[in-house]
Amino acid sequence: MTQFQNGSRARAVHRLIYASRQRFAANEPAAQALEAIAASAARHNAAAGVTGLLLAHGGWLLQVLEGPANAVMTTYRRILDDPRHDEPRVIISGPVREREFEEAGMDARRMNPAGDCILGALDQRTAFTPRELSDVSALALLKAVRGCDAPALVALAG
Ligand SMILES: Cc1cc2nc3c(=O)[nH]c(=O)nc-3n(C[C@H](O)[C@H](O)[C@H](O)COP(=O)(O)O)c2cc1C
pLDDT in tens, 72-111: 999 999 999 999 999 999 999 999 999 999 877 788 888 7
Fold of 7-157: Alpha-Beta Plaits (3.30.70)
In this model, does residue 9 exceed pLDDT 50? no
* Best of 51, 79, 85, 110 for a ligand 1 pocket test (most atoms within 8 Å of beta carbon): 79
Cα-Cα-Cα-Cα dihedral sign, residues 66, 132, 83, 30: positive
Q: Is the CB of 79 under 6 A from ligand 1?
A: yes
> pTM of this prediction?
0.86
Q: Are 72 and 147 contacting, i.e. CB atoms less than 8 angstroms apart?
A: no
For ligand 1, atom 16: residue with the closest CA: 79
Q: Is the CB of 16 under 6 A from ligand 1?
A: no
Could you say which DSSP state residue 148 is in?
Answer: P
- pLDDT recorded at residue 120: 66
User: Lowest mean pLDDT: which of 47-51, 63-67, 151-155?
Assistant: 151-155
